[in-house]
Amino acid sequence: MLGNWLKTSILMAGIMALFGLIGAYIGGTNGMLLALLFGGGMNFFAYWFSADMVLKMYNAQEVDAASSPYLYNMVKELAGRAGLPMPRVYIIHEDQPNAFATGRNPENAAVAATTGILQMLSARELRGVMAHELAHVRHRDILISTISATLAGAISALANFAMFFGGRDSEGRPANPIAGIAVALLAPLAASLIQMAISRAREFDADRGGAEISGDPHALADALVKIHSYARGIPMATAEAHPETAQMMIMNPLSGGGLAGLFSTHPATEERVARLRAMA
């Protein structure tokens, strides 16, 4: 677990370095310092508010034992098995089957499931999925994934600013406009690659942890097979508009395939399923 945190800290430092590089392109040394301050401010903001921002972005509606006893009581039982405080529970009105967890720590965690996943999976399979999300909570992955999503979005916005408003070299002269286009294209790509590196290992850990919490590795494996079969054929507009949030989901919600699959924040479903079957 310590190795995971060290790796994640190094990768998050890489995201902050991207802020500095873009700032240096826009305004030299002063621009770099301002961009790093901006990045630090975004980190602070993301720590306290990013979870609510993501839930609001997906129009998630909080439910309780009265409004959604099926999902709420399932999460309550699994949280007890995991030794976790009861998280807030949300439903997202989307046809695509998917789910995610967010929050800065287990005491302030939230789990969300789409109406699509509630309708598609059996109770046993859904239990495996929610156990996976609670494993993210127990491993404290949710803070890193939410902050990295927020910062990746900010880097994309800053890179677009650099392309449209140009930059200055170290002597204050206008920079090459081609360099601005390169920054606008490569900086978000680099941020996405960092997100991918953060996310893939954590998905395997959450699969294993979820199987342990639920006590049924085959249930999660069966759920992943079903979700994989349907998710890409059912678009999720919010995820397409905010692709930086894709890595928070149990399955990649984006419709792109082919080359885009090489940069997926999720490991191959076949490998995830094979590892779960081996556990059983």
Q: Tokens 């996943």 correspond to what residue?
A: 117
Phi, psi for residue 95 in degrees, rounded to 5: -75, -30
Q: Residue 1: which residues within 8 A CB-CB, separation 6 or more?
A: 139
Q: Are 178 and 163 in contact (CB under 8 A)?
A: no
Report d(CA 280, CA 268) in Å as an integer: 19
Q: What is the dihedral of CA 113, 116, 118, 122, to 10 degrees?
A: -130
Active-site residue, selected from the candidate residues 94, 125, 133, 203? 133
Q: Which DSSP helix (H) or strand (E) runs through 32?
A: helix 2-57
88: DSSP letter: E
Does the annotation count 133 as an active-site position?
Answer: yes
Q: Which residues are catalytic?
A: 133
